[in-house]
Amino acid sequence: MKIGLEGIAFNIPEHFINIEELACARGIDPAKYTQGLGQKEMSVSTPCEDSVVLAAGAGRKLLEKFNIDPASISHLIVGTETGIDHSTSVSSYVHLMLGLSKFCRVFEIKQACYGAMAGLAMGINYLLSRKAKGSKVLVIATDIARYGIGAAGEPTQGAGAVAMLISDQPSLIEFETQYDGYYAHHVMDFWRPIYSKEAFVDGRYSIQCYLEALEGAYHFYKKNALQSGLVHSVDNFNKQFAACLYHVPYVKMAQKAHIKLLEIDAGRTFGKNSTYLEHAQNDFNQRTLPFLELNSRIGNVYTGSLFISLLNFLEDVKPEAYGKHISLFSYGSGCGAEFVSAKVLEGAAHRMKRDSFRKALDSRKRVKANRYEEMMDACARMDDNGGNVCQPEKWDLQRSELYLGVKGHKRIYSIDGKIIQ
Protein backbone atom coordinates (compact mmCIF):
# COMPACT_ATOMS: atom_id res chain seq x y z
CA MET A 1 0.00 0.00 0.00
CA LYS A 2 1.27 3.51 -0.85
CA ILE A 3 1.27 5.92 2.09
CA GLY A 4 2.44 9.50 1.71
CA LEU A 5 1.80 13.19 1.71
CA GLU A 6 -1.39 14.34 0.00
CA GLY A 7 -1.08 17.97 1.08
CA ILE A 8 1.18 20.39 2.96
CA ALA A 9 0.79 24.07 3.93
CA PHE A 10 2.43 26.49 6.32
CA ASN A 11 1.53 29.54 8.34
CA ILE A 12 3.84 32.15 9.87
CA PRO A 13 3.54 35.27 12.03
CA GLU A 14 2.84 38.50 10.16
CA HIS A 15 6.05 40.24 11.34
CA PHE A 16 9.76 39.61 11.00
CA ILE A 17 13.05 41.26 11.91
CA ASN A 18 16.06 41.42 9.65
CA ILE A 19 18.83 39.36 11.26
CA GLU A 20 21.57 41.94 10.56
CA GLU A 21 19.46 44.56 12.32
CA LEU A 22 19.16 42.25 15.33
CA ALA A 23 22.94 41.74 15.36
CA CYS A 24 23.53 45.51 15.29
CA ALA A 25 21.05 46.00 18.16
CA ARG A 26 23.11 43.50 20.20
CA GLY A 27 26.46 45.02 19.21
CA ILE A 28 27.46 41.83 17.36
CA ASP A 29 29.17 41.57 13.97
CA PRO A 30 26.24 40.79 11.56
CA ALA A 31 28.47 38.26 9.74
CA LYS A 32 28.22 36.00 12.79
CA TYR A 33 24.46 35.65 12.24
CA THR A 34 24.47 35.68 8.43
CA GLN A 35 27.62 33.63 7.69
CA GLY A 36 28.21 31.90 11.04
CA LEU A 37 24.58 30.78 11.47
CA GLY A 38 23.35 31.21 7.88
CA GLN A 39 20.23 33.22 8.80
CA LYS A 40 18.63 36.19 6.99
CA GLU A 41 15.40 37.05 8.79
CA MET A 42 13.51 35.90 11.86
CA SER A 43 9.74 35.57 12.28
CA VAL A 44 8.38 37.43 15.29
CA SER A 45 5.04 36.48 16.79
CA THR A 46 2.72 38.89 18.57
CA PRO A 47 0.67 37.92 21.65
CA CYS A 48 -2.34 37.23 19.38
CA GLU A 49 -0.41 34.57 17.44
CA ASP A 50 0.03 31.59 19.75
CA SER A 51 0.70 27.96 18.79
CA VAL A 52 -3.04 27.30 18.32
CA VAL A 53 -3.49 30.26 15.95
CA LEU A 54 -0.44 29.29 13.88
CA ALA A 55 -1.58 25.64 13.69
CA ALA A 56 -5.20 26.43 12.84
CA GLY A 57 -4.08 28.83 10.08
CA ALA A 58 -1.81 26.17 8.55
CA GLY A 59 -4.57 23.54 8.77
CA ARG A 60 -7.15 25.79 7.12
CA LYS A 61 -4.75 26.66 4.29
CA LEU A 62 -4.12 22.97 3.65
CA LEU A 63 -7.82 22.03 3.56
CA GLU A 64 -8.52 24.84 1.11
CA LYS A 65 -5.48 24.48 -1.13
CA PHE A 66 -5.78 20.70 -1.54
CA ASN A 67 -9.59 20.67 -1.50
CA ILE A 68 -9.89 18.25 1.42
CA ASP A 69 -13.19 17.23 2.98
CA PRO A 70 -12.74 17.70 6.78
CA ALA A 71 -14.98 14.64 7.33
CA SER A 72 -12.34 12.40 5.72
CA ILE A 73 -9.87 13.11 8.56
CA SER A 74 -9.86 10.42 11.27
CA HIS A 75 -6.81 11.66 13.20
CA LEU A 76 -5.53 15.10 14.17
CA ILE A 77 -2.07 14.96 15.74
CA VAL A 78 -0.31 18.16 16.81
CA GLY A 79 3.42 18.09 17.52
CA THR A 80 4.47 21.05 19.65
CA GLU A 81 6.66 22.13 22.53
CA THR A 82 4.75 25.41 22.85
CA GLY A 83 1.94 24.09 25.02
CA ILE A 84 -0.89 26.38 26.09
CA ASP A 85 -2.19 24.48 29.11
CA HIS A 86 -0.99 21.68 31.41
CA SER A 87 -4.10 19.67 30.63
CA THR A 88 -5.98 20.65 27.48
CA SER A 89 -4.12 20.39 24.20
CA VAL A 90 -3.38 22.67 21.25
CA SER A 91 -5.03 19.99 19.09
CA SER A 92 -8.32 20.30 20.97
CA TYR A 93 -8.74 23.96 19.91
CA VAL A 94 -7.45 23.25 16.41
CA HIS A 95 -9.99 20.43 16.01
CA LEU A 96 -12.77 22.91 16.73
CA MET A 97 -11.34 25.65 14.51
CA LEU A 98 -10.96 23.31 11.52
CA GLY A 99 -14.49 21.94 11.91
CA LEU A 100 -13.30 18.33 11.96
CA SER A 101 -15.60 15.41 12.71
CA LYS A 102 -16.30 14.41 16.33
CA PHE A 103 -15.33 10.88 15.28
CA CYS A 104 -11.69 11.85 15.18
CA ARG A 105 -8.71 10.81 17.34
CA VAL A 106 -7.26 14.11 18.59
CA PHE A 107 -4.08 14.56 20.63
CA GLU A 108 -0.85 16.48 21.09
CA ILE A 109 2.68 15.04 21.16
CA LYS A 110 5.56 16.63 23.04
CA GLN A 111 9.07 15.36 22.36
CA ALA A 112 10.91 18.65 21.70
CA CYS A 113 11.45 19.18 17.95
CA TYR A 114 10.85 15.48 17.25
CA GLY A 115 7.12 15.64 18.16
CA ALA A 116 5.71 16.08 14.65
CA MET A 117 7.93 13.36 13.17
CA ALA A 118 6.68 11.03 15.92
CA GLY A 119 3.14 12.02 14.87
CA LEU A 120 3.89 11.22 11.25
CA ALA A 121 5.36 7.81 12.17
CA MET A 122 2.24 7.07 14.22
CA GLY A 123 -0.04 8.23 11.41
CA ILE A 124 1.78 6.11 8.84
CA ASN A 125 1.42 3.01 11.03
CA TYR A 126 -2.29 3.69 11.48
CA LEU A 127 -2.81 4.10 7.73
CA LEU A 128 -0.98 0.82 7.12
CA SER A 129 -3.33 -0.94 9.52
CA ARG A 130 -6.61 -2.43 8.39
CA LYS A 131 -8.52 0.06 10.56
CA ALA A 132 -7.90 3.15 8.42
CA LYS A 133 -10.34 2.29 5.61
CA GLY A 134 -9.29 5.16 3.39
CA SER A 135 -9.37 7.83 6.11
CA LYS A 136 -6.69 10.53 6.37
CA VAL A 137 -4.35 11.71 9.13
CA LEU A 138 -3.62 15.41 9.67
CA VAL A 139 -0.32 16.12 11.45
CA ILE A 140 0.46 19.72 12.41
CA ALA A 141 3.80 20.96 13.71
CA THR A 142 3.46 24.31 15.49
CA ASP A 143 5.96 26.21 17.63
CA ILE A 144 7.33 29.52 18.83
CA ALA A 145 11.08 29.23 19.47
CA ARG A 146 12.14 31.59 22.25
CA TYR A 147 15.43 32.01 24.11
CA GLY A 148 15.06 35.62 25.25
CA ILE A 149 16.53 39.00 24.49
CA GLY A 150 20.32 39.01 24.47
CA ALA A 151 20.62 35.19 24.86
CA ALA A 152 23.12 33.32 22.61
CA GLY A 153 20.16 31.50 21.09
CA GLU A 154 18.26 34.73 20.29
CA PRO A 155 19.17 34.80 16.55
CA THR A 156 17.93 31.19 16.30
CA GLN A 157 14.38 32.03 17.40
CA GLY A 158 11.43 31.89 15.00
CA ALA A 159 7.80 30.79 14.81
CA GLY A 160 5.34 29.08 12.51
CA ALA A 161 3.35 25.94 11.76
CA VAL A 162 3.28 23.28 9.04
CA ALA A 163 0.22 21.13 8.37
CA MET A 164 0.66 17.78 6.59
CA LEU A 165 -2.06 15.45 5.38
CA ILE A 166 -1.05 11.81 4.99
CA SER A 167 -3.19 9.19 3.32
CA ASP A 168 -3.24 6.23 0.92
CA GLN A 169 -3.70 8.72 -1.94
CA PRO A 170 -0.37 10.57 -1.83
CA SER A 171 0.26 13.22 -4.46
CA LEU A 172 3.55 14.77 -3.25
CA ILE A 173 5.81 12.12 -1.68
CA GLU A 174 5.39 8.46 -0.84
CA PHE A 175 7.06 7.31 2.40
CA GLU A 176 9.40 4.32 2.41
CA THR A 177 7.37 2.35 4.96
CA GLN A 178 9.47 -0.85 4.96
CA TYR A 179 12.28 0.62 7.02
CA ASP A 180 13.23 3.65 9.10
CA GLY A 181 15.76 4.46 11.81
CA TYR A 182 15.12 6.04 15.18
CA TYR A 183 17.26 6.91 18.18
CA ALA A 184 16.85 8.22 21.75
CA HIS A 185 19.22 9.05 24.59
CA HIS A 186 18.53 11.23 27.65
CA VAL A 187 20.66 14.39 27.44
CA MET A 188 20.24 17.89 28.91
CA ASP A 189 21.16 19.86 25.80
CA PHE A 190 18.03 22.03 25.62
CA TRP A 191 14.99 22.22 27.87
CA ARG A 192 12.24 24.58 29.03
CA PRO A 193 11.21 24.30 32.68
CA ILE A 194 7.49 24.38 33.41
CA TYR A 195 7.79 27.92 34.90
CA SER A 196 9.57 29.47 31.91
CA LYS A 197 8.43 30.79 28.53
CA GLU A 198 12.04 30.78 27.37
CA ALA A 199 14.23 27.76 26.66
CA PHE A 200 17.51 26.98 28.40
CA VAL A 201 20.23 25.53 26.24
CA ASP A 202 23.78 24.23 26.41
CA GLY A 203 24.43 25.49 22.86
CA ARG A 204 27.69 23.81 21.77
CA TYR A 205 26.68 20.58 23.54
CA SER A 206 23.30 20.59 21.71
CA ILE A 207 25.16 20.60 18.38
CA GLN A 208 27.19 17.57 19.48
CA CYS A 209 24.01 15.76 20.68
CA TYR A 210 22.29 16.49 17.35
CA LEU A 211 25.20 15.01 15.37
CA GLU A 212 25.44 11.93 17.62
CA ALA A 213 21.70 11.33 17.20
CA LEU A 214 22.06 11.65 13.42
CA GLU A 215 24.77 8.99 13.48
CA GLY A 216 22.65 6.69 15.70
CA ALA A 217 19.45 7.07 13.64
CA TYR A 218 21.25 6.72 10.29
CA HIS A 219 23.08 3.54 11.36
CA PHE A 220 19.78 2.02 12.53
CA TYR A 221 18.09 3.09 9.27
CA LYS A 222 20.79 1.39 7.19
CA LYS A 223 20.67 -1.77 9.33
CA ASN A 224 16.87 -1.94 8.91
CA ALA A 225 17.20 -1.28 5.17
CA LEU A 226 19.49 -4.33 4.84
CA GLN A 227 17.22 -6.48 6.99
CA SER A 228 14.17 -5.53 4.90
CA GLY A 229 15.64 -7.52 2.02
CA LEU A 230 14.88 -4.64 -0.35
CA VAL A 231 18.45 -3.36 -0.19
CA HIS A 232 21.60 -5.44 -0.68
CA SER A 233 24.31 -2.91 0.11
CA VAL A 234 24.36 0.28 2.16
CA ASP A 235 27.75 1.48 0.87
CA ASN A 236 27.57 5.21 0.17
CA PHE A 237 23.84 4.96 0.80
CA ASN A 238 23.29 8.73 0.81
CA LYS A 239 24.10 8.91 -2.92
CA GLN A 240 20.62 7.62 -3.79
CA PHE A 241 18.95 10.74 -2.32
CA ALA A 242 18.07 13.58 -4.69
CA ALA A 243 17.84 15.83 -1.63
CA CYS A 244 18.84 15.44 2.00
CA LEU A 245 16.63 17.40 4.42
CA TYR A 246 17.34 17.97 8.10
CA HIS A 247 15.96 19.52 11.24
CA VAL A 248 17.03 23.17 10.85
CA PRO A 249 17.44 25.18 14.07
CA TYR A 250 19.56 27.45 11.84
CA VAL A 251 20.88 26.91 8.33
CA LYS A 252 24.50 26.19 9.33
CA MET A 253 23.34 23.29 11.53
CA ALA A 254 21.96 21.56 8.44
CA GLN A 255 25.36 22.01 6.79
CA LYS A 256 27.11 20.41 9.77
CA ALA A 257 24.56 17.56 9.60
CA HIS A 258 25.06 16.94 5.89
CA ILE A 259 28.84 16.83 6.22
CA LYS A 260 28.41 14.38 9.12
CA LEU A 261 26.15 12.16 6.97
CA LEU A 262 28.80 12.00 4.23
CA GLU A 263 31.51 11.30 6.83
CA ILE A 264 29.46 8.40 8.25
CA ASP A 265 29.17 6.81 4.79
CA ALA A 266 32.84 7.51 4.05
CA GLY A 267 33.85 5.99 7.41
CA ARG A 268 36.21 8.91 8.12
CA THR A 269 36.17 12.53 9.24
CA PHE A 270 37.01 15.17 6.64
CA GLY A 271 39.98 17.29 7.72
CA LYS A 272 39.85 21.10 7.66
CA ASN A 273 40.86 22.43 4.21
CA SER A 274 40.79 18.88 2.74
CA THR A 275 39.37 18.21 -0.73
CA TYR A 276 36.94 15.78 0.99
CA LEU A 277 35.50 18.68 2.99
CA GLU A 278 35.35 20.85 -0.12
CA HIS A 279 33.41 18.12 -1.96
CA ALA A 280 31.08 17.69 1.00
CA GLN A 281 30.37 21.43 1.09
CA ASN A 282 29.67 21.42 -2.66
CA ASP A 283 27.37 18.46 -2.19
CA PHE A 284 25.52 20.37 0.57
CA ASN A 285 25.14 23.31 -1.86
CA GLN A 286 23.48 20.93 -4.36
CA ARG A 287 21.33 18.64 -2.24
CA THR A 288 20.35 20.62 0.89
CA LEU A 289 21.01 24.36 0.69
CA PRO A 290 18.55 25.08 -2.19
CA PHE A 291 15.74 23.96 0.14
CA LEU A 292 16.64 26.15 3.10
CA GLU A 293 15.47 29.55 1.83
CA LEU A 294 12.30 29.40 3.89
CA ASN A 295 14.21 28.34 7.02
CA SER A 296 16.72 31.16 6.58
CA ARG A 297 13.87 33.68 6.48
CA ILE A 298 11.76 32.30 9.34
CA GLY A 299 14.22 30.89 11.87
CA ASN A 300 13.67 27.85 14.05
CA VAL A 301 10.12 26.45 14.15
CA TYR A 302 11.18 23.57 16.45
CA THR A 303 8.80 20.71 15.42
CA GLY A 304 8.16 22.37 12.06
CA SER A 305 11.69 23.18 10.86
CA LEU A 306 12.32 19.96 8.94
CA PHE A 307 8.93 20.19 7.26
CA ILE A 308 9.43 23.85 6.34
CA SER A 309 12.44 22.63 4.38
CA LEU A 310 10.31 19.84 2.86
CA LEU A 311 7.71 22.39 1.76
CA ASN A 312 10.47 24.53 0.21
CA PHE A 313 11.74 21.42 -1.61
CA LEU A 314 8.29 20.47 -2.92
CA GLU A 315 7.63 23.95 -4.32
CA ASP A 316 11.01 24.12 -6.03
CA VAL A 317 11.51 20.47 -7.03
CA LYS A 318 12.54 19.88 -10.65
CA PRO A 319 10.94 17.09 -12.74
CA GLU A 320 14.34 15.30 -12.84
CA ALA A 321 13.75 14.41 -9.17
CA TYR A 322 10.40 12.71 -9.79
CA GLY A 323 10.62 9.02 -8.90
CA LYS A 324 13.80 9.59 -6.87
CA HIS A 325 14.17 9.37 -3.10
CA ILE A 326 14.84 12.10 -0.54
CA SER A 327 15.92 11.71 3.08
CA LEU A 328 14.42 13.43 6.12
CA PHE A 329 16.15 13.68 9.48
CA SER A 330 14.30 14.90 12.56
CA TYR A 331 16.10 15.80 15.81
CA GLY A 332 14.44 16.74 19.07
CA SER A 333 16.58 17.80 22.00
CA GLY A 334 16.50 15.69 25.07
CA CYS A 335 16.85 13.65 22.77
CA GLY A 336 14.84 11.73 20.17
CA ALA A 337 15.59 11.46 16.45
CA GLU A 338 14.48 9.69 13.29
CA PHE A 339 15.86 9.16 9.78
CA VAL A 340 13.35 8.26 7.04
CA SER A 341 13.15 8.36 3.26
CA ALA A 342 10.43 9.04 0.73
CA LYS A 343 9.90 8.93 -3.05
CA VAL A 344 9.06 12.18 -4.88
CA LEU A 345 5.87 11.75 -6.88
CA GLU A 346 5.30 12.84 -10.47
CA GLY A 347 3.83 16.37 -10.72
CA ALA A 348 4.51 17.29 -7.06
CA ALA A 349 5.75 20.82 -7.89
CA HIS A 350 2.72 21.47 -10.07
CA ARG A 351 0.41 20.54 -7.18
CA MET A 352 2.32 22.84 -4.81
CA LYS A 353 2.24 25.89 -7.13
CA ARG A 354 5.68 27.44 -7.16
CA ASP A 355 6.52 30.67 -5.30
CA SER A 356 3.56 30.67 -2.97
CA PHE A 357 5.87 30.55 0.05
CA ARG A 358 7.87 33.50 -1.29
CA LYS A 359 4.66 35.51 -1.63
CA ALA A 360 3.78 34.71 1.98
CA LEU A 361 7.25 35.79 3.13
CA ASP A 362 7.16 39.00 1.13
CA SER A 363 3.77 40.02 2.51
CA ARG A 364 5.12 40.14 6.09
CA LYS A 365 5.78 43.44 7.88
CA ARG A 366 9.34 44.25 8.93
CA VAL A 367 9.82 45.48 12.50
CA LYS A 368 12.70 47.35 14.08
CA ALA A 369 14.54 45.99 17.12
CA ASN A 370 12.62 48.10 19.65
CA ARG A 371 9.22 46.98 18.28
CA TYR A 372 10.41 43.33 18.30
CA GLU A 373 11.42 43.77 21.97
CA GLU A 374 8.00 45.27 22.72
CA MET A 375 6.36 42.20 21.14
CA MET A 376 8.60 39.83 23.12
CA ASP A 377 7.73 41.64 26.33
CA ALA A 378 3.98 41.50 25.59
CA CYS A 379 4.23 37.78 24.74
CA ALA A 380 5.70 37.15 28.19
CA ARG A 381 2.37 38.39 29.63
CA MET A 382 -0.03 37.02 27.00
CA ASP A 383 -1.31 34.17 29.21
CA ASP A 384 -2.00 36.25 32.35
CA ASN A 385 -5.61 35.82 33.42
CA GLY A 386 -7.44 39.09 32.60
CA GLY A 387 -4.36 40.58 30.94
CA ASN A 388 -4.75 43.15 28.19
CA VAL A 389 -1.81 42.66 25.81
CA CYS A 390 -3.73 40.54 23.25
CA GLN A 391 -5.27 43.38 21.27
CA PRO A 392 -5.07 42.64 17.53
CA GLU A 393 -5.39 46.35 16.57
CA LYS A 394 -2.32 47.14 18.69
CA TRP A 395 -0.24 44.68 16.64
CA ASP A 396 -1.54 45.52 13.16
CA LEU A 397 -2.76 42.00 12.29
CA GLN A 398 -4.81 40.92 9.28
CA ARG A 399 -5.25 37.22 10.01
CA SER A 400 -8.62 35.45 10.48
CA GLU A 401 -7.56 33.38 13.51
CA LEU A 402 -6.60 35.29 16.68
CA TYR A 403 -5.77 34.57 20.31
CA LEU A 404 -7.48 37.20 22.47
CA GLY A 405 -6.11 36.31 25.92
CA VAL A 406 -7.32 34.54 29.06
CA LYS A 407 -10.56 35.58 30.77
CA GLY A 408 -12.18 33.66 33.62
CA HIS A 409 -9.16 31.29 33.33
CA LYS A 410 -10.24 30.25 29.83
CA ARG A 411 -8.41 30.98 26.60
CA ILE A 412 -10.42 33.06 24.15
CA TYR A 413 -9.94 32.85 20.38
CA SER A 414 -11.68 34.41 17.44
CA ILE A 415 -11.99 32.87 14.01
CA ASP A 416 -13.47 34.87 11.11
CA GLY A 417 -14.74 37.34 13.73
CA LYS A 418 -16.55 34.63 15.75
CA ILE A 419 -15.49 34.20 19.39
CA ILE A 420 -14.72 30.70 20.63
CA GLN A 421 -13.41 29.45 23.97
Starting at the earlier edge strand, list the strands of the sheet with 401-407: 401-407, 410-415, 418-420
Taking Cα atoms as reference points, which of 118, 138, 1 lies closest to residue 66?
138
Q: Report, in Å, the least distance between residue 338 CB and ligand HMG.
A: 13
Options 113, 209, 335, 379, the catalytic residue: 113
Choosing from 81, 154, 198, 315, the catalytic residue is 81
Annotated catalytic residue 14: no
CB of 312 vs ligand HMG, minimal distance in Å: 17
Active site residue 247: yes
Q: Residue 292 CB, nearest distance to ligand HMG (Å)?
A: 14
- Comparing CA positions, the residue from 167, 144, 166 lying closest to residue 156 is 144
Angle between helix 305-316 and helix 115-128 axes, rounded to 10 deg: 70
Nearer to ligand HMG, 196 or 388 (CB): 196
The smaller minimum CB distance to ligand HMG, of residues 35 and 240, is found at 35
Spatial distance between the Cα atoms of 86 and 389, rounded to a whole number of angstroms: 22
Residue nearest to ligand HMG (CB): 36
What distance in Å separates the CA atoms of residue 246 and residue 329, rounded to the nearest whole number? 5
Smallest separation (angstroms) from ligand HMG to the CB of 302: 5
Three-state SS at 90:
helix
- Chain residues that interact with ligand HMG, rule: CB under 6 A: 29, 31-32, 35-37, 81, 112-113, 152-153, 156, 189-190, 201, 203-204, 206-207, 210, 247, 249-250, 253, 300, 302, 331-333
Pick the closer one to ligand HMG by CB: 233 or 273: 273
Sign, Cα dihedral of 88, 91, 92, 94: positive
Radius of gyration, alpha carbons of the chain: 20
In a 10 Å sphere around its CB, with 0-12 CB exposed, 13-18 middle and 19+ buried, how is residue 289 labelled? middle
Alpha helices (H) in 26-154, listed in sequence order: 30-31, 51-65, 90-98, 115-128
How far is 75 from 107, CA to CA, in rounded Å?
8
Residue closer to ligand HMG by CB (options 144, 402) is 144
Least separation in angstroms between residue 151's CB and ligand HMG is 8
CB-count burial class (<10 Å; 0-12, 13-18, 19+) for 417: exposed
In the complex, the smallest distance separating the C-beta of residue 185 from ligand HMG, rounded to whole angstroms, is 13
Q: Looking at 15, 75, 95, 247, which residue is catalytic? A: 247
Closer residue to ligand HMG, CB minimum distance, 86 or 204 = 204
Show which residues are catalytic: 81, 113, 247
